[in-house]
Each structure stands twice: as C-alpha cells, then as structure tokens.
Structure 1
C-alpha cells in the first residue's frame, strides 16, 4: 500500500483521538495495583474508550477479542488479558489503541506495582527515555534509521537489549500502516525511508533485560514473552510529523 500521508485536518482528528486515549491511559495507570485482574482492566479500558466516543482499536484485529494487550514481567507484547491477579513487585505493560472518527492512535506504558528494586526502576526509565529520544528524530530531513538508532543508543547505553523482531509502525485509518520502525538499526531493511510531513507514526520501545529471543504462547497464540525469562518493557506514543517538527498525539 505504501506510506499514507495525512492532511492537517486528518492529523487534527488523530490529535483529538490521541488526547482521548491519553486520558484513558492515565486512568488505567491508576488502577494497576496488587490484586487487580487484567481482565478487569480490559473491561474498564473498553468502557472508558466508549465513554470518549471511540472504539477499541485492537478489536479491529482479526481473531483478537480484547481492548488491551497486558503483559507482566517477562511478557513482551500482545499479552491476552487473563484472570491471574497482579502481584506486588510485578512490572505490568499495557498497550491500547482508540479508533476515533475513522483514525487510530496507539500507545503503551510499563509501570511497577508497588515497590520494586532500583535496577527495575532504571530498566523502566531506559524505555521512557528511548521513546523520548526517538520522537525527537521524527522530523523532516531524518530517516527511519535515525528514529531506530536513537532508540537503540539509549537502550544499549543502559545495558539493555532492543527487540530484534518487534517494531513500531505507521498508523492512521489502519492500526498498522507502513513504514515499519525497528527498535534498532543494522541496515538489514531494504530501504531507509525518509521522514516526511504528514506521516503519523507509532514509535515503540520494545526491549529486554536479557537476550532478544522471544517465544509465543501455545495456549493463546498471542502472548509473546522473553525466552530466557528476563523482564521486558514496552513504551509507545503516536506522533505526527509536521513542518514544525514532531507533534505528540497521545499525551
């Protein structure tokens, strides 16, 4: 299909949807605590999105029936919400999207549950900084490689491993559009795509404390975890490229 450039009017719709998603995201963060069940969070998320006049983006994905993806500890992405209560000391990632007036925005975060070790706090700080660094590169004159390298440099400086298999992506009328935006850059992509005004991008820092190898759950066919059992993190924001620079849509 190629990269779909958005008009200023379409970006404004996405900004409105992104602000609604940010409100939902902030409310869900407050609900992640010991004893809460991911399925409860998922039901709450759907209700909040509907209250905002949107629809759950993830329910537009074939054979995915939930509003969120929720992972904990060694879970990386695409975690199916379950009935296992969240425990003190967990780290929990929540990925969510809203479909509003025909356009998707996508965001995710990872939070500690109760008190966690300083090293875990450092791990989460790395992901937040990696996304912030990548957003700064989403501007005219740059390429996808600049976004990926910015993310990679932050994560590796902290001593962590960017995912080799999972990526950020374009977003708009479809939840997943071109281009693919890796969390690292080794030159293996056939084309290093220039960043242009009107691009709307879901920038994702997906990373591990250990090795990048992943496994897919045989039980649900969706949940992806680290093969070595070490913790993983996920931070994501949707950004529009404007002639004035990157515009954060999901905050």
Structure 2
C-alpha cells in the first residue's frame, strides 16, 4: 500500500533527512587510506545518536551494523569490520536514520585517494544518473520516467544498471511501497502524486549488471569482479517539483 505524506510528514522527513545528510557527508570526508570500515561505522553511529536519532540499519532484518560500506566490486550491504581502506578504492557508503519516528535513507560513493580514471568516471556517472532520475520527478510523471532517465545516463557510458535491487518508498518505515527501479520505459508505471516520498538509488556496475550475494548473506558483489558505485537521495514529490530531503 502506498502511503502519501502530508505537508507535516514531509517537514518531519526533511528534518530527518538533513540530519542524515550531515552525518553521511562527515563519514565521506573520513574516507582515506588506513581507515578501517569499522571506524567509519563507529563514528556514524556516534554522530547519529548525538543528534538524538537512531540508526535505521542496525539490527534491521538482522543487519549487524549502522553503516553499509561496499568497496570496489561490492555493490551494496557491505558489513563494516577490520578491512582497511587502500588508496585507489571505490567506497560506497549507505546510511539511514530514524528521527521522531521518520526515516531517511541516503548513499554516496567516494574515492579513497587517487583512483583510476575509469573508476572516477564510474562514480561521476552514477552521481549524474541519480540527478537525472530526480529531474524526472514531478506530479503526473511515471515511475518508468525515473528509471529511463537513470538508465540512459548509465548505458551511454557503457556501464550497467543493477536490476536485482531497486529504490523504494520511505516514511515511517524504512522500506515502503512503491519499488523504484533504476531502469524502465518512459511513460509507464505508477503515476507520481503529490506527497509521495521515495528513495531513488542507482547502483551502477562498470561491467555486467549481474550480481551475487556472498556467504555472509548480506554483501552483494558484481559477478564479473568489476567495480560498482551507489548514490541515493530520499525525495518528496511536491507541486513545485522534487524536493531532496537528504541534502546536507
């Protein structure tokens, strides 16, 4: 069931989103050679709690951490631990929080030190595809318009959109209806209405779109071993156009 949000709901979601955007920016700035993924996770949880919020991912369906840290061929849901970041790594950070009962969800990908030109292109293409999807959002648009916009940006660079995982609605639950694919045909799918709040989150692979889950039952990796990137914002559909709720 799709739950449209009131103006008051969106104000609350905007507060949650701004807090999340600030924390995620800080974690992104910590990414550097020698830092462990567990250290990133520890600081993410500390900062969220200092803001009077709660981690959204910790213990969600059994997930054991606050932050998802996915490196290189890891696409999403990488579990923080003892792994040390190295120069040249492509590091995706996915984070969520709950503030006064309202969820926010966002992700960024950052380069750890200098990276190869193709890796930088992967990061920038994924970022551009997110904003192309956001630009397609308006009252009366269709879900297929979002996915089509993302897909066009990605495939123009010879890269692939992950199809096994998609965006989603956000509100008083972390994952609500509808699903928001990062591929599709323009003019098809659900019609966007004022008050809809969704997470648009392109996951883009440098090579094939095929992915698999590791034995930890969480970490998703590319089948061909090529690198992946991930960006996400929580977006409100308003009469004035899309509002990015998770901007720092």
TM-score range, shorter chain: over 0.9
| Residue of structure 2 equivalent to 1:78 | 77
Query: TM-score scaled to structure 2, two decimals?
Result: 0.97
- Please, which of 203, 208, 225 is the counterpart of residue 206 of structure 1? 203
**Secondary structure of the equivalent of 2:232?**
strand
Structure 1 residue 224, shift from structure 2 partner: 0.3
Q: Does 1:163 align with 2:162?
A: yes
Structure 1 residues 206 and 65, CA gap change in structure 2 (3 angstroms):
same
Structure 1 residue 226, shift from structure 2 partner: 0.3
**Secondary structure of the equivalent of 1:59?**
coil
Query: TM-score scaled to structure 1, two decimals?
Result: 0.96
| Residue of structure 1 equivalent to 2:97 | 98
**Secondary structure of the equivalent of 1:58?**
coil
Between the aligned partners of 1:186 and 1:146, the Cα distance in structure 2 is 7
Which segments of 5 or more consecutive residues in structure 2 lack a partner in the other structure?
Answer: none
CA RMSD of aligned residues (A): 1.2
Maintained 8 Å contact 2:147/2:185: no
Task: State the Cα deviation string for residues 189-224 of structure 1 (Å, max 9, x = none).
Answer: xx8111000011100011101111111111x11000
| Residue of structure 1 equivalent to 2:237 | 241
**Secondary structure of the equivalent of 2:191?**
coil
**Secondary structure of the equivalent of 2:28?**
helix
Between the aligned partners of 1:195 and 1:186, the Cα distance in structure 2 is 15
Which segments of 5 or more consecutive residues in structure 1 lack a partner in the other structure?
Answer: none
Matched residue count:
246
Maintained 8 Å contact 2:55/2:66: yes
Between the aligned partners of 2:118 and 2:39, the Cα distance in structure 1 is 29
Structure 1 residue 186, shift from structure 2 partner: 5.6
1:83-232 aligned within 5 A: 83-185=82-184, 192-218=189-215, 220-232=216-228
Structure 1 residue 65, shift from structure 2 partner: 2.0
Between the aligned partners of 2:144 and 2:175, the Cα distance in structure 1 is 19
Structure 1 residue 158, shift from structure 2 partner: 1.4
Q: Does 1:8 align with 2:4?
A: no
Between the aligned partners of 1:115 and 1:59, the Cα distance in structure 2 is 31
Between the aligned partners of 2:100 and 2:241, the Cα distance in structure 1 is 24
